[in-house]
């Protein structure tokens, strides 16, 4: 008898504890719950905004002319020594090699070097002068500028390097217009 009474007491205690625990949990959830919908709303909102930023248009080439005033002619000359002299000379009256001599190139017409065997792609532009922006586009990506040209040069990606290089070309071009 007293044993079963003890069992009942323990059972009642466990039950009470269980109910209390359950209630505490329920109250706890009621208190915590209000923040859950907000977090869910934020997480739903972000992926919806993401595709707008994930589809950039093909970037237009940044204009080079505004960068020329602050460009570094010496750095440009070094770039030319490293990346262009294997095919081009830059001195007045210099010989053409794989590529034409580039003295006085800014402001000169396309295919400017007499006697050099230009591609049809460059010869087709012979009435157009080499402006700063034309030179920018050519050096950035020769193939895109004149498809079918025969200058085997992949292109110079850095806009700052192109500004330095073009400032150097300008410095050896007595007939260059003001940028």
Answer yes or no: are the C-beta atoms of 80 and 153 closer than 8 Å: no
Q: Residue 164: which residues within 8 A CB-CB, separation 6 or more?
A: 71, 72, 73, 75, 76, 79
Tell which residue, 87, 98, 150, 99, has the closest CA to residue 121: 150
Should residue 64 be labelled a site residue for ligand HEC when binding is judged by CB under 6 A? no
Q: Scan for tokens 């895109």, then name that residue.
A: 144
Tokens of 160: 């700052």
Tell which residue, 72, 103, 111, 113, has the closest CA to residue 174: 103
CB 148 to ligand HEC: min, Å? 8
Segment 20-59, which members bind ligand HEC (CB under 6 A)?
A: none
CB 66 to ligand HEC: min, Å? 20
CB 145 to ligand HEC: min, Å? 10
Nearer to ligand HEC, 9 or 128 (CB): 128
Segment 137-156, which members bind ligand HEC (CB under 6 A)?
A: 138-139, 149-153, 156
Tell which residue, 66, 47, 74, has the closest CA to residue 164: 74
Segment 66-125, which members bind ligand HEC (CB under 6 A)?
A: 83-84, 86-88, 98-100, 102, 105, 110-113, 118-119, 121-122
Question: Residues interacting with ligand HEC, by CB under 6 A?
Answer: 83-84, 86-88, 98-100, 102, 105, 110-113, 118-119, 121-122, 138-139, 149-153, 156, 165
């Amino acid at each position: 008898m007293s044993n079963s009474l003890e069992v009942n007491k323990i059972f009642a205690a466990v039950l009470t504890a269980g109910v209390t625990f359950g209630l505490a949990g329920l109250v706890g959830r009621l208190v915590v719950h209000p923040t859950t919908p907000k977090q869910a709303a934020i997480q739903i909102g972000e992926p919806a905004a993401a595709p707008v930023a994930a589809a950039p248009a093909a970037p237009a080439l940044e204009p080079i002319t505004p960068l020329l005033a602050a460009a570094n002619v010496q750095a440009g000359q070094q770039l030319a020594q490293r990346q262009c002299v294997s095919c081009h000379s830059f001195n007045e009256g210099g010989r053409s090699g794989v590529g034409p001599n580039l003295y006085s190139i800014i402001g000169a017409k396309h295919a400017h070097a007499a006697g050099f065997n230009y591609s049809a792609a460059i010869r087709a532009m012979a009435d157009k002068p080499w402006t700063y922006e034309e030179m920018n586009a050519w050096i950035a990506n020769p193939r895109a500028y004149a498809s079918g040209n025969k200058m085997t040069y992949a292109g110079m990606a850095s806009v700052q390097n192109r500004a330095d290089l073009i400032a150097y070309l300008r410095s050896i071009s007595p007939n260059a217009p003001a940028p």
